[in-house]
Amino acid sequence: MAGDDFRELMNAMADPLVACDGDECVLYLNPAAERLLGWTLKELRGEPFARLVPERLRTFDGHSFLRYLLGRRRALSGRPVRVFLLRHEGSELEVEVTVGTAMGGGGERIAVVLRRPPELPDYTDEPLERVSSAVHAHAPHPPGSAGERAYQLVFENAPLGLFHFDTAPTIVACNDYFVRIMGSSKRLLIGLNLLTLQDEAILACVRDVLAGRHAYYEGEYRSVTADKLTPVRAHFAPCFGEDGQVEGGVGIVEDVTEQRSAEAERNRLFREAQEAIRVRDDFLTIASHELKTPLTPLSLRLASLERRMERKEPVDPTLLRHARQHLVRLAALINDLLDASRIEAGRLALHFEPMRLDAIVERALTTMDAERGQHRIDYSHPEEGVRIRGDPYRLEQVIANLLENALKYSPADSTVRVTLDVRGDFALLSVSDEGIGIPRDQQEQLFERYFRARNVSITSYGGLGLGLYISRDIVERHGGRIWVESEVGRGATFYVALPLLSAANPTPPEPRPATDSTHQVH
Ligand code: ADP
């Protein structure tokens, strides 16, 4: 501190006073401050001023507390700021402080003048009954009157957080709902000076109220008394005395956690619905293209046939066969669309009967023969027949779809291997190709409606992304399971497991984990 003259001057002052250096370390405190704070000069000298600040308010970085107060002082145009300080024995003390700063020979000096606010009881040391009698002093009815009781009841039971503050501005009353929102206790909240809060938006509201204006706050609020983060909406209003002066304010706080989560849920559903609409729109575009594709070659061939017949020329049977192939393709696409919508509506009928799976595989292979082009198809199966209970028509559809995909997504001169086997209580069919394969992250999605792998362009392969969706529904309704193992560029193997006729309600085998996805194809 400066010279002894000043020290004596400070000692003579009745107001408690603390002097600090520019780093907010204590240089000196006068006897009045020693008495008020219970600390001696010896104990505090050189210590940061923040040692006098309760932990819960010490979100400042320790050294910037006084600067924070200096900032507040400017905001309040010089009015004292009410804060809590820690007495030596640990109790909290509410004081009004005025902070000033000046440059001296030894650098910056900060003077802190402390004053006990005479009008407020020391809430922190008082039992709650005393606190509430202090609250009564602010209530609009005389203590104990019927009006006062009614006011108290409304205040306490309102389904919103309510609090009342004076011009300091210190909270003088709050209801339980408010305490719950803040997550702390009345003891900590009542007596809290709102200017010690960190939230600039709240401070702006408080300032507005003290200036006689209403204010509104909405956002995530972190309570200083319990460090609880809550999304809130708060309305603030000034309270005017009879002389028209602002006597303080009230705050109405609403915890909007539930509304927020309901809103988040609504947004999520909305986004999902939008996504579903987008997927459906994309699908309609793709489906229209797919359905149109066979029409052009079909009509060309029919026109050519018509011309020949008009000229009485001999009709080339290949023309007719090609025309029919395009019609069959069109019919298959339409059937897939119909089946998918039947599945959606829960109306895809299956007709179960004892049947031989090997016979159905052979039938699918024979039908496919015309389409296999230069592909080699290897088929292996057990000597004896494989008997299951199933819908032969629908299972042929499943097998045909797997074979078509294997041909469609693999090079023309490669081999497709079809294997039928018996594993425990199950018939296990696999269709393996040497084609483009399927990225791992898409292997589950393949079986979803409309799913077409992203690496497959529309024009090169065609397809509606419905075949595997329909196949999975059919296989699972047989009590079976369908899955794929694949690596990009190394082909894909689709497996279908179906319960044997002899088996009673067996559990379908688990697909092997994806890491095991070795291939029969090499
Ligand atoms: P699509 O009619 O489009 O082929 P599917 O439901 O049968 O519809 O197949 C869905 C998607 O799965 C296909 O678009 C393709 O990307 C992928 N896929 C199916 N089988 C194979 C396979 N054997 N090899 C590589 N990708 C395949």
Domains present along the chain, CATH in parentheses: 3-132 (3.30.450.20), 146-255 (3.30.450.20), 271-345 (1.10.287.130), 353-499 (3.30.565.10)
Residue-level pLDDT at 434: 96
Q: What is the mean pLDDT of residues 318-341?
A: 90
Residue tagged 């894909």 (tokens): 492
Q: What is the pLDDT of residues 232-249, one digit of tens each?
A: 999 999 998 888 889 999
Q: Which two tokens stand for residue 468?
A: 């595997």
DSSP state of 500: B
Mean pLDDT (the chain, rounded): 84
Buried b or exposed e, range 374-392, using 16+ CB within 10 angstroms = ebebeeebeeeebbbbbbb
Ligand 1 pocket residue status of 456, Cβ below 6 Å: yes
Ligand 1 pocket residue status of 482, Cβ below 6 Å: no
Count CB neighbours of 306 within 10 A.
10
Q: Would you say 350 and 394 are in contact if contact means Cβ atoms under 8 Å apart?
A: yes
- CA torsion sign for 39, 41, 43, 45 is positive
Ligand 1 pocket residue status of 464, Cβ below 6 Å: yes
Q: Which residue has the least CA distance to atom 2 on ligand 1?
A: 463
**3-class SS of residue 28:** strand
What is the whole-number distance in angstroms between the Cα of residue 405 and the centre of ligand 1? Answer: 6
Look at the pTM and tell me if it is higher than 0.85. Answer: no
If residue 216 lies in a helix (H) or strand (E), which one and from where to where?
A: strand 215-222
| Burial classification of residue 51, based on how many CB atoms lie within 10 Å of its CB (0-12 exposed, 13-18 middle, 19 or more buried) | middle
Residue-level pLDDT at 502: 81
Residue-level pLDDT at 406: 95
What is the whole-number distance in angstroms between the Cα of residue 65 and the centre of ligand 1? Answer: 66
Residue-level pLDDT at 462: 66
In the chain, % of residues over pLDDT 90: 48
Residue-level pLDDT at 352: 95
Ligand 1 pocket residue status of 500, Cβ below 6 Å: no
Ligand 1 pocket residue status of 491, Cβ below 6 Å: no
According to the per-residue pLDDT averaged within each range, which of 190-199, 269-278, 426-435 is highest?
A: 426-435
For ligand 1, mutation pick of 403, 444, 452 (most atoms within 8 Å of CB): 452
What is the whole-number distance in angstroms between the Cα of residue 453 and the centre of ligand 1? Answer: 7
Distances (CA, A) of 411 to 374, 432, 458, 486, 519: 9, 13, 17, 16, 17
**3-class SS of residue 87:** coil
Residues 6+ apart with CB under 8 A from 45: 26, 27, 28
| Burial classification of residue 141, based on how many CB atoms lie within 10 Å of its CB (0-12 exposed, 13-18 middle, 19 or more buried) | middle
Q: Which atom of ligand 1 is least distant from the CA of 336?
A: 2
Ligand 1 pocket residue status of 431, Cβ below 6 Å: no
What is the whole-number distance in angstroms between the Cα of residue 129 and the centre of ligand 1? Answer: 76
Least confident of 42-51, 150-159, 184-193, 338-347: 150-159
Q: Which atom of ligand 1 is least distant from the CA of 455?
A: 16
What is the whole-number distance in angstroms between the Cα of residue 437 and the centre of ligand 1? Answer: 9
Ligand 1 pocket residue status of 480, Cβ below 6 Å: no
C-alpha 140 chain-centroid distance: 46
In whole angstroms, give the CA distance from residue 346 to residue 16: 83
Q: Would you say 148 and 136 are in contact if contact means Cβ atoms under 8 Å apart?
A: yes
Amino acid identity of residue 358, one-letter, is D
Q: Would you say 477 and 467 are in contact if contact means Cβ atoms under 8 Å apart?
A: no
- CA torsion sign for 243, 246, 248, 254 is positive
Ligand 1 pocket residue status of 409, Cβ below 6 Å: yes
What is the whole-number distance in angstroms between the Cα of residue 308 and the centre of ligand 1? Answer: 39
Count CB neighbours of 410 within 10 A.
21
Q: Assign 74 a pLDDT band (cuts: 50, 70, 90).
A: low
> Is the confidence at residue 67, as pLDDT, over 70?
yes
Ligand 1 pocket residue status of 406, Cβ below 6 Å: yes
Residues 6+ apart with CB under 8 A from 221: 199, 202, 229, 230, 231, 232, 234
In the chain, % of residues over pLDDT 70: 84
